[in-house]
Structures are given as C-alpha cells and as structure tokens.
Structure 1
Amino acid sequence: MTVPEKRLHEDGDGDGDGSGANDTTALEEKRQNTQPYIKGIAGIKPEFLAPISSLSSTYTEYNDDEAEGGDRDKNGSQNGNGDKRRKKERGQNQKRDLKQKRDTVRLCVSLIDPEDESTPCVAGDEEKCKYSHNLEEYLASKPKDIDGMCPVFEALGYCPTGMKCRWLHSHFNKETKKLIKDLGKLETEKDKSFEVNLIDRESKIALQRKKYKYEISEQVIKYLDSKVQRNDSHQENRKENEATYVEQPFKIAEKKKIDLRGAKIVSPLTTVGNLPFRRLMKTLGADVTYSEMALSVPLIQGHQPEWALPKAHISEHPGFGVQIASSKHWAAAKAAEVIYRTTQHVSELNLNCGCPIDLLYKSGQGSALLDQTPRLLRIVKAMNGSSGDIPVTIKIRTGVKENKNTAAHLVDRVLNETQVAAITLHGRSRQQRYTKEADWDYIEEVGKVVKNWNEKREEDKEGRDTNPTWFVGNGDVYTYEDWYNGVAREGVDSVMVARGALIKPWLFEEVEAQQYLDKSSSERLSMLDKFAKFAIEHWGSDEYGVNSARRFMCEFLSFTHRYIPVGIMERLPPKLNERSPKFVGRNEMETLLSSSDYKDWIKITEMFLGKAGEDFQFVPKHKSNAYENTENR
C-alpha cells in the first residue's frame, strides 16, 4: 500500500546542520512571509512563532546516540570521527550522576508490613540490626505524602512497598495502624500486572560464583572453536581439532515461529526504552517490543543491573525480544543458554550489530561486527545452537563508513551460512550516526536479497520446512505515511520505529487510522500519567522508586518535547530531522510540553509524582537543554 503524496512543498534533506546566524536570518525572512520553505527547519504557522527576542536560543541541538547507547559511552565521545572540537560545540554533559538518594531513616524490611510475619529482620536481632525498628521515627522522617491514590494499590489492591510508600495515606488505617488490602482485587488483578523473565536467585548466584552448568553452550563453543581459523603457528592444532569434529556434535533445536509481516515494531532503545515505556507503547498499538541492549559478559557474570534488562511486563508477550551485544561467540552462546533456561517469555534473541557508540565499537561489539563477517557468523551460530527454541534475529546498519554500503553482501552470507529468523536494517552507516536521511532505496535493495533467498527456499523441497527470514526496515519513520511507504518497498515485511515512537508515542495509532492525529495537550498528559503509573509499579512507590520514575520520565520528556503539534504546522508531513523554531502552543500546557528546559520537564513530572525533593538529581544529556530558568520551581 502506498500513501498518496500530500506534500505542499519540496522536502529538503532535513539534516539541519546550517549555522545559527543563517538560520536566524532565514527565520526572520519567514516571519515576513518572504520565504515559504526553509531547508532543515520545520514549518510553523506565523501566528504561533515565538517573539523575535527569543531567537538567541531558538534551536536546541539534538544528538540521538542515547537512543542506541544510553549512558554506556563512558569514554565521552559521541562522534564517529572523534572530533573533540565538534563534541565540545555540541555540549554533551559527560559523567552524569544519576543516582538517587534513599530514605534518611532506613526502615528494616520486617516493618514494611508490620502484620507480615514472613519477612524477618535482616539481622535476625533488632538490637544488632543497622536499620530502624522505630516506626514512628521513620514515619516522622518521611517527606509529606503525595496527593492522590497510590498507583500500585490502585492497580493491585495492595502496595508491597507498605509503610515506605509515598502515597501511604491512601492505603493506611491510622486508627488501627494497619495497611489496607483489597484482597478481592488482589486476586483478580495479580495476573494482569506482573513482570516476567526474572532470573531465579540460585542461577544468579551460580553465575556470580562461576559455577553455572552450561549444558548446551559448552558443546557449541567447543565445536565452533575447532572451526576458528588460527594463525600459522596453530595450523596443526586446528587440523587436529577439525578432524575430531567432522560433523556438528549437537542439534539446533526447532525454533518458535515469529511473524513480523506488517507488525508494529518498537526498536530496542537504551535508557528510554525501559519497561514502563514499552508497556505504554503496547497500550498504544505496538505488536513487538525489545529489551534495552544487554551485554553478554555481564549477563553471564550474574550482574544484577544487566539482568534487570530482560525483564518484561506480561502484556509484552508474545512479541518480546531480548537484545544482546557481544564480540565473542563463547559469551554470546552462554548468554543465549542462560536466557533460554531461566526465562519463559522471550519470543526472540536479537544480536545488536548496529550500535555506533564508541565504547562498544572499540570492544568489537555492535557495529564493529559489520566489518567482521566471520566473527558475526560465529556469534549467530553460537546463539542458534544455545538458545533452545528461541529464534535468533539480527539488527544491522548499512555499513561502517558513509557511502560504502556493505549490508547486502553481509546479508547474503548470513542467509546462506547460518540461520536467522529476521534481519532489521537501519538505513544509515555507523559513521553517519543520525545525520542525513535514512537510505530507503538501499534498504529496498537489501530487502530484495532477502526476498530472493526466501523464494529459493520455497522452491527447495528441504527448505520448505524451515521458517522464512523476515526483513524489517528502520530509519526516519515519524508519520503513518513513512510507515506505509516503508512496507510498500519490495522485500520489506515491516518497519521498526525508534525515535519516532519516543517523540510521538501514538504513532501506531496514526498507522491504524491512516491519518494524522492532532493530540491535544490533555491527551498527551494522559499518556504521561499512564507512563508515571507504570513507572511506579515498576520501580516502586517509595522515595527511591519515585525518584527513579521521575528521572526516567525526564529522559522520556527529553524526546517528547520535540513533538510539533500538527495543528500549528503550515506544511505536512513533519520530518524527523527537521528542527523546530521556538513556538507558542495553543494553550499554556502545550507550550510547556514543548519546552527544552529540563527544569520544565521536572515541573511536568510533579503533576504525577508530587513535588520533587531538594535532593532529586537530574542532569540533561545535552547542555542545550540545561537553560537556567528565571522562574522558581
């Protein structure tokens, strides 16, 4: 299906790299109605443009690497070419301290629910316990309760955070000094609002102590090691090993089938692609979601933060994929086996072969695999052999260097030398990051390679019994037109959405309606309200959980503020990489929702999460978002 053209003006490339002075001059001409179109700048109806006096801070610089790499890039470089001067001009806030402070008086877990005798004191003796057993003292030290109903109690009929809850007044009887429990609701709702893919304690401890028994992957690793091409000094050993394993000593399990034809897919996104965000996207029409990128080595070392990433809400399954990054086939094999054996709600394992972040690239992970085809193939084979019935998929870019596309050749080798259930291609190279527009002509070219391979498989009697390989395009999908134009390309089964879903979460609703939806500020606030409730259910309703929910909501708002309401635009379609001049919304809330000042983001979170405490910490990723606000919060 092809969407009819609705463009009123010829579109530019939208990379928005012009100088500030030229942009200002162009904007002044626009205000005088002497220039109907400015390359790289979104068209706003003149009556909504902000006063000329604000032009000194008209534009906010966007760097979207965090969508794929988050805070993992500890070396601080966000530029593919290592240009430190350019990085300084872009104004990255490096080494952000995002840890949230906990309670001043820390309550012993035995008193979180005073009636629950199944939770003993952590020390076994009140006198030896380092936590407080004085409930009155603890309650007096807590910040003032947040107004309204506790989101967790509202959802479940019981709040596990108990006395530590910031909405304690909504489920605490002051007269009896007991927590209120709606047992009827707890029974009916418990299966609708819980998280899955939590690793069991015994397996995690075994991983941490290096005592986990890898019953599947050890055979796979041993076999693949025998096939690795070694240097000349190891030729004899290699030949001996190959002689030992003439045939593969294990069978690849039959994989579960996935169907991505026409699926509405949310890309794996680091930091902002957290569980509450994905859960929100499921309510807004998403069919497939992915975990944040997890690193294979920390997974097999049993690191708790890494094992938090494969967690999913029950509503995400089926259709939930876990994405991992790895540079070694042995690490990928072990991670695949542990995920297969300890989780029950994973639809696919996705290998990240596209992340451009320097930290991963220099360690041979992510997009570094694009130039190391033999290693990539070994990793895929290792994952296939160790993942049981979970199918393996890959996500790649067009290549490493700009104007040097290698994906078609890579995909051809992957299809002919190993087995993948799906291939997703982001239409940019590593070097391009998010500059320039995604190359959908090349995406289609690679799609044809996959299509031809699938057709040959159907003609082959033995091949008919194997599952097809789906091909998914990715890049610059921000409107329903972009989505339908993408799936109309030859060989493209579906389209994956990344930044488009972060900036405009209701994108799949537009796809379903096949029209632009001019969401009001109240409708957008309703989505944020839902996100806040999901966040509290996920991170908890205590002080730490509220601060965590607030921090991730600010990260979410760092994308949503970029949305330009359809009703104030003078030309359609909007383009993802077009920058917006400052504008005044149709009401005060719409203006506030468009603010690039992180202090305004905190104000918005306060509508749902109560007043932010003085000790709350949030530093925006970009200095351009850190304007000093003259108003008091």
Structure 2
Amino acid sequence: MNHPQAAEKSVINTMKSVTSSDFVLSVAPMMDWTDTHCRVFHRILAPDARLYTEMVHANAVIHGDRAQLLAMNPVEHPVALQLGGSDPAHLAEATRIAVDHGFDEVNFNCGCPSDRVQAGRFGACLMREPALVADCVGAMVGAAGKVPVTVKCRLGVDDDDDYGQFRSFIDQIADVGCGHFVIHARNAWLKGLSPKENREVPPLRYDWAYRLKDERPDLRIELNGGIRDIDTAEGQRGRLDGVMLGRAAYHDPYLLHRLDSQWAARAELPRADLLRRFRPYVEAKLADGVALKHITRHLLGLWHGEPGGRPFRQVLSERAHLPGAGWGLIEEAMAAQSAVEAQLGNAR
C-alpha cells in the first residue's frame, strides 16, 4: 500500500494542467467554507475553474499565522487570495507576501456587508470611498509585479441607484491598473440586513454589468450573484467574461462539475468516481493529523437533490467527528446512497 503522502503527490503531479479560457468559471471566496480542503475538492470537480480563498485581512497576513491563513496545496492552481483592508501600505505588503506564497491573483474585497467588516472600514462600505479604494488597489498593483490584482464589488451601498456613480467607481480603480472586476450584481445594505439576507434580498441587476461591459469593453467583467443553474450561467456567455458561483458551488458541487465539463467539452463523471479521486488527499491529511470532519463538511452536498443524498449526508454528519474516522466512513456513506438509488431502480 502506498504511503498517503506519496499518494497525495501522485494526485498533484498527474492532475490535468489548467488552461486559460476567454470565458472564466470561478468559485467565490466564502468565509468559513473555501478553505484549502474545499478548494482541493473543487479542483477535482472543475479542473479549469478559478478558485478563491476565504477573505483574509491584510493585517492578519502580515502578523498572523501564515502557515494556516495562506495554506494552499499545489493542486489548487490557479487560485486567488482575497484580501480585506483599507490601508494601502498594509495591503501592498500583504500582496507581496501573497505573491511570494505563489498565489496566481490577489483580489480586493469591496463587497462584504457584515457588521464586523464595516467596523474595520473594509468590504462593501468602501464603495462610498472610491478614492481610497483606488489608493489601495494602486498600492497592490505596484506590489504584485506580474500577478494580476482584481476587485470584487457590489453595485452600490444601501439605496444607491445611480449607474453613473457605479461606473465612476469602476473607472477610478481601472485608472490605477486594475482590469478585472467581479461584480456581485446587487447592492449591499449595511444596516438592517444580515450577510445572508444581503445575498438574497437586494434585487439583482445584471443589466448594470452588461452595460458596464458594453461601455468598457477592455475591462474583464465577471458576474456573481443568483447563478444557481446551468441556464443562468450559460446565459452570460457572449455578454460577459465569466461567471462566479457562490453558495451554489458549495451546496450543489456537482453543478460546478457539470459547468466546467460542459464548457471544456469533457464528459461528465459520476459523483462516486469524482469523490474517489479525492481519497489520496484525504488519507494524506488524516496522516497529518487532520480530523475527517474538517474535510467531509465540504462533501455533504455532492448528491444534492439526488436519490440517497440524505443518507449520504447523515452518515458523514453523524460519524465524521468520531475518533478514528477515516476514508472507510466515506465509502459507507457512498454505499448508503447507492443502496437507496438501487431500491428506487428496482421499484420502477
């Protein structure tokens, strides 16, 4: 039997190289979700997608535990580090550190609406301070060298309803060297709505993203927000430069696989086959002392909406935290799913 560490290296060395594409599929940075375990799993599902870390504050990158905060497996490339902050000097230093750690892109967060983010003067509230954002992004561009610096933002804050103001915000940032924007196409309400409600309540306005692309064709404009199915994602091709999946990629990860396969003209693979490709990584991490529960929480939606999805989730949710839990538990979960699927097939 191969040692888990050797098996993990084998997966990394044989993984299909990621090719560039005119139309980009990416997975949004999501706090507490898109850690390195999640990103490795997503890379197996979507060899051509661009992956993003959770948001990390620039000060944490400079002063914190970089081994944990910037953890990244080589298989994840291309992967972007998303930074939060509002101090140009600190953001520049954090960008240099990100580049030294091998990240393929550094993304600046101007879209998060949480109270904690507002208290620190970063995230969506910065959309009211375009000059400061331009200073921050300009400093990051200067520190990044050849690594691209991108911005993820909303359409505005609270009851902003002025397209010209939004375009001016984009133009000021583009003028300092940022050519790629991920637009979460709704406003951020800083008071009265939770972060979850901010992803659902403010109305989507894809037309603003379309208009921006028409008026600024040299900029790369990627759409985020409300993309939960193939038809909505496919509808952006020819109009924009890419789509970014958020919660849909996490709650229904097979959607990520279907989109990536369709746009790369590859055959879709069965869920169980994809999951077994994850085994070398899982066993390597277990050998390093990582508890299985920290990995399996990212797998729970793989059979979303499919027969046997519930018992698959139950097996992992109820037992992955137990001492000694290993790959065999994931096989049990797949067997529970398969049994339900077989029963339904026999009943037909």
Q: Among 281, 285, 295, which residue is 2:42 paired with?
A: 281
Give 1:500-515 correspondences, 5 Å limit: 500-511=248-259, 512-513=261-262
1:283-432 paired onto structure 2 within 5 Å: 283-285=44-46, 286-301=48-63, 303-304=64-65, 306-317=66-77, 319-340=78-99, 342-343=100-101, 345-401=102-158, 404=161, 407-415=166-174, 417-431=175-189, 432=197
Q: How far apart are residue 276 of structure 1 and its match?
A: 2.6
Q: Deviations over 1:349-391 (max 9, x none)?
A: 1101112222112111111211221111110011111212212
3-state DSSP class of the match of 2:13? coil
How far 1:485 moved relative to its partner?
1.2
Name 2:215's counterpart in structure 1.
452
Once the two structures are TM-superposed, the CA of residue 277 in structure 1 deviates from its matched residue by 2.1
Q: Please give the residue correspondences for 1:144-155 in structure 2 after superposition, counting only pairs within 5 Å.
A: 151-155=4-8
Q: Which amino acid aligns with 1:444?
A: D
Contact 1:155 1:193 in 2 (8 A): no
Deviation track 1:59-114 (CA, whole Å, cap 9, x = no partner) reads: xxxxxxxxxxxxxxxxxxxxxxxxxxxxxxxxxxxxxxxxxxxxxxxxxxxxxxxx
For the pair 1:591 / 2:310, whether they are aligned, the reply is yes
1 or 2 for the larger relative contact order (CA 8 Å, sep ≥6)?
A: 1
Q: Compared with structure 1, are the counterparts of its residues 338 and 152 closer, same or farther at alpha carbon in structure 2 (3 Å cutoff)?
A: closer
Cα distance 1:333–1:425, how it changes in 2: closer, same or farther (>3 A)? same
Contact kept? 1:422, 1:469, Cα under 8 Å: yes
Distance in 1 separating the partners of 2:326 and 2:97:
41
Q: CA deviation at 1:428?
A: 2.6
State the secondary structure of the residue aligned to 1:495. Answer: strand
Q: Secondary structure at the match of 1:506?
A: helix
Indicate how the Cα distance of structure 1 residues 326 and 259 shifts in structure 2: closer, same or farther if over 3 A, else same. farther
Alpha-carbon shift at residue 606 of structure 1 (Å): 4.5
What residue identity is the alignment partner of 1:297?
Answer: N
Give the C-alpha shift of residue 312 in structure 1: 2.8
1:481 aligns with 2:231: yes
Distance across 1 between alignment mates of 2:220 and 2:242:
8
CA distance in 2, matches of 1:562, 1:437: 30
Tell me, what secondary structure is at the counterpart of 1:355? Answer: coil
Cα drift, residue 323 of structure 1: 1.2
Question: What residue identity is the alignment partner of 1:356?
Answer: P
How many residues are treated as equivalent by the alignment?
A: 311
- Shift in CA distance, 290/368, structure 1 to aligned 2, threshold 3 Å: same
Give the aligned residue type for 2:123.
G
Residues 609 and 371 from structure 1, CA distance in 2 versus in 1: closer, same or farther, beyond 3 angstroms?
Answer: farther
Deviations 1:501-539 (A, max 9, x none): 11222224322348xxxx99xx445544444542443x4
Q: Which has the larger radius of gyration?
A: 1
- Relative to the length of structure 2, the TM-score reads 0.76
Structure 1 residues 541, 434: CA separation in 2 closer, same or farther (over 3 Å shift)? same
Q: In proportion to residue count, which structure has more strand?
A: 2
Instruction: Select which of 487, 497, 513 maps to 2:245.
Output: 497
Aligned-partner Cα distance in 1 for 2:319–2:188: 33
Quick one: distance in 1 between partners of 2:271 and 2:287?
23
CA 1:430–1:307: 2 relative to 1, 3 Å: farther
Give SS of 1:356's match.
Answer: coil
How many angstroms apart in 2 are the aligned matches of 1:149 and 1:395?
Answer: 42
CA spacing shift, 1:279–1:190, aligned 2, 3 Å? closer
SS in structure 2 of the partner of residue 477 of structure 1: coil
Q: Distance in 1 between matches of 2:11 and 2:326?
A: 27
Secondary structure of 2:34 counterpart = coil
2:135 counterpart SS class: helix
Letter in 2 for 1:373: P
Correspondences of 1:183-332 after superposition (within 5 Å): 189=10, 192=13, 261-285=22-46, 286-301=48-63, 303-304=64-65, 306-317=66-77, 319-332=78-91
> How is 1:482-631 mapped onto 2 (pairs within 5 angstroms)?
482-488=232-238, 490=239, 492-511=240-259, 512-513=261-262, 523-531=270-278, 533-537=280-284, 539-542=285-288, 544-545=289-290, 547=291, 549-554=292-297, 556-557=299-300, 560=301, 563-565=304-306, 586=307, 589-593=308-312, 598-599=317-318, 606=325, 608=327
Change over 3 Å in CA distance of 1:551–1:396 after alignment to 2: same
Q: Matched residue of 1:332: which SS?
A: helix
- Does structure 1 retain, via aligned residues, the 8 Å contact 2:286–2:326? no
SS in 2 for 1:308: helix
* Matched letter for residue 501 of structure 1: A
What are the Cα deviations for residues 535-593 of structure 1, in whole angstroms up to 9, with x where unaligned?
Answer: 443x4514x32x1x422422553xx179223xxxxxxxxxxxxxxxxxxxx4xx43313
* Equivalent pair of 1:398/1:425 in contact (CA under 8 Å): yes
Residues of 2 paired with 1:359 and 1:562: CA distance? Answer: 34
Checking the alignment, whether the CA contact within 8 Å between 1:532 and 1:553 is kept in structure 2 is: no
Q: C-alpha deviations, 1:584-607, integer Å up to 9, x for none?
A: xx4xx433135599437759x956
Asked if the contact 1:561/1:595 (under 8 Å) is kept, the reply is no
Retained in 2: the 8 A contact 1:291–1:311?
no
* TM-score normalised by length of structure 1: 0.44
- Separation in structure 2 between the aligned mates of residue 368 and residue 437 of structure 1, nearest angstrom: 16
More helix by share: 2
RMSD, aligned CA = 3.4
CA contact 1:563–1:594 (8 Å) conserved in 2? no
Residues 434 and 562 (structure 1), Cα distance of their counterparts in 2 relative to 1, 3 Å cut? farther
Superposed displacement of residue 327, structure 1: 1.5
> What's the offset of the Cα at 1:425?
0.7
Deviations 1:468-506 (A, max 9, x none): 421000112222112111234x3x111011111112222
Mapped to 2, the partners of 1:551 and 1:191 lie a distance apart of 20
Distance, in Å, in 1 between the alignment partners of 2:38 and 2:186 is: 25
Q: For the residues of structure 2 that align with 1:270 and 1:446, how far apart are their CA atoms? A: 25
Q: Is the 8 A contact 2:316 2:329 kept in 1?
A: no
Mean Cα deviation higher: 273-282 or 468-477: 273-282
Percent identical: 18
Q: Could you say which residue in structure 1 is the equivalent of 2:337? A: none
Task: Give the match's secondary structure for 2:131.
Answer: helix
Residue identity matched to 1:563: H
> In the aligned structure 1, how far is the partner of 2:166 from the partner of 2:179?
17
Structure 2 CA distance for aligned equivalents of residues 277 and 429 of structure 1: 28
Deviation at 1:150, TM superposition (A): 5.6
Q: Which amino acid aligns with 2:13?
A: K
5+ residue gaps, structure 1, are 1-147, 157-188, 195-257, 455-467, 566-585, 612-633
Distance change >3 Å, CA 402–CA 193, structure 1 → 2: farther
